[in-house]
């Protein structure tokens, strides 16, 4: 059975100084440019067909039920937040392999965050095989918001990107993977047709995604090369282990709330990465 594995990346760094300059909450998700290049080599060696966003959209077999039909094991490469390394490293490395990326941008970061890509860079991330999508307006977690606030986040992100890129913006991912059914409907109304979450699964040919965001697999600083190979080949061992972990996470999120959970995750990941060094 064919599938598409949607990979979720964040910042990429090239040296120790660039890693040090990342915010603490970015570090658990950041990988080196060498690791990124190694990932693309492994995709190629495993004959995984890397789709650009247009090819991914063309794989939809039924728009009403959101069913896909992938003719061979595939991957879509996505990036969240809008770090300047998308332009500096991700874009040229993807192009070395002939691949295109899908870059989810948080517009509010462009003026408020010193490491964010500029509008000129973001326009280049929407050319050739590459595509830009939305990622909230301010990056606040949408699932826990009042309806008027979530409406603002979704509408404003689409409007701002559309205005600055002078093109329709059809895809988005939810910051922190946080959403509810009403948010999905609002995202559709705001112009987004392809909506991604961050629950760890592949997109399977036989599933429908009418009431769920499309799944993605997070690539973290801690993801080993062996795990990466399991992720892209839809290896049961990786996904079963993750689904057990996901249930524990869901319970913890319900108990302490999404924002506290995120802070706790970053704290633990940061501690682990400093122990490794």
With binding defined as CB under 5 A, does residue 153 bind Zn ion? no
Does residue 224 come out as left (phi exceeding 0), alpha (psi in the -120 to 50 range) or beta? beta
Residue number with CB closer to Zn ion (218 or 231): 218
User: Residue 48 or residue 125: which is nearer to Zn ion going by CB?
Assistant: 125
Query: Cβ distance 228 to 36 under 8 Å?
Result: no
Closest by CA position to 31, among listed 81, 84, 85: 85
# chain residues binding Zn ion, by CB under 5 A? 3
Q: Which of 175, 177, 191, 215 binds Zn ion (CB under 5 A)?
A: 175
Q: Identify which of residues 18 and 80 has a Cβ nearer to Zn ion in the complex.
A: 80
Nearer to Zn ion, 81 or 153 (CB): 81
The answer to whether residues 174 and 142 touch, using CB atoms and an 8 Å cutoff, is yes
**Beta-bridge partner residues of 133:** 104
Q: Which residue is nearest to Zn ion (CB)?
A: 80
With a CB cutoff of 8 Å and minimum separation 6, the contacts of 178 are: 141, 142, 143, 144, 258
Task: Quote the distance between the C-alpha of residue 177 and its chain's center.
Answer: 9
Residue 80 touches Zn ion, criterion: CB under 5 A: yes
User: Taking the complex as a whole, how short is the minimal distance between the CB of residue 135 and Zn ion, in angstroms?
Assistant: 6
Site string for Zn ion, 102-131 (x = CB under 5 A): ------------------------------
User: For residues 100 and 175, which CB has a smaller minimum distance to Zn ion in the complex?
Assistant: 175
For residues 91 and 88, give the distance between their C-alpha atoms in angstroms, rounded to a whole number.
7
Check binding of 18 to Zn ion (CB under 5 A).
no
**In the complex, least distance from residue 67 CB atom to Zn ion, rounded to whole angstroms:** 27
Q: Residue 61: phi, psi to the nearest 5?
A: -100, -25
- Under the criterion CB under 5 A, does residue 26 sit at the interface with Zn ion? no
Q: Which residues bind Zn ion (CB under 5 A)?
A: 80-81, 175
């Amino acid at each position: 059975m064919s599938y598409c594995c949607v990979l979720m990346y964040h910042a990429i760094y090239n040296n120790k100084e660039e890693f040090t300059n990342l915010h603490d909450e970015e570090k658990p998700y950041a990988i080196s440019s060498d690791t990124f290049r190694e990932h693309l080599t492994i995709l190629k060696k495993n004959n995984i067909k890397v789709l650009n966003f247009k090819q991914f959209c063309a794989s939809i077999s039924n728009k009403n039920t959101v069913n896909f039909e992938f003719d061979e094991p595939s991957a879509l490469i996505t990036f969240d937040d809008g770090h300047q390394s998308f332009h500096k490293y991700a874009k040229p490395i993807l192009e070395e392999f002939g691949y295109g990326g899908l870059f989810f941008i948080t517009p509010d970061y462009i003026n408020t965050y010193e490491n964010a890509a500029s509008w000129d860079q973001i326009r280049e991330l929407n050319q050739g095989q590459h595509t830009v999508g939305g990622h909230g307006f301010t990056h606040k977690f949408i699932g826990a918001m009042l309806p008027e606030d979530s409406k603002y986040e979704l509408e404003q992100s689409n409007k701002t990107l559309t205005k600055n890129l002078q093109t329709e913006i059809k895809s988005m991912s939810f910051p922190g993977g946080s959403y509810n059914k009403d948010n999905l409907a609002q995202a559709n109304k705001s112009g987004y047709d392809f909506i991604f979450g961050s629950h760890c699964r592949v997109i399977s040919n036989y599933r429908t995604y009418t009431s769920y965001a499309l799944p993605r697999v997070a690539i973290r600083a801690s993801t080993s090369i062996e795990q990466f190979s399991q992720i892209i080949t839809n290896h049961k061992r990786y996904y079963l282990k993750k689904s057990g972990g996901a249930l524990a996470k869901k319970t913890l999120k319900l108990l302490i709330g999404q924002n506290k959970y995120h802070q706790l995750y970053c704290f633990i990941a940061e501690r682990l990465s400093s122990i490794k060094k």
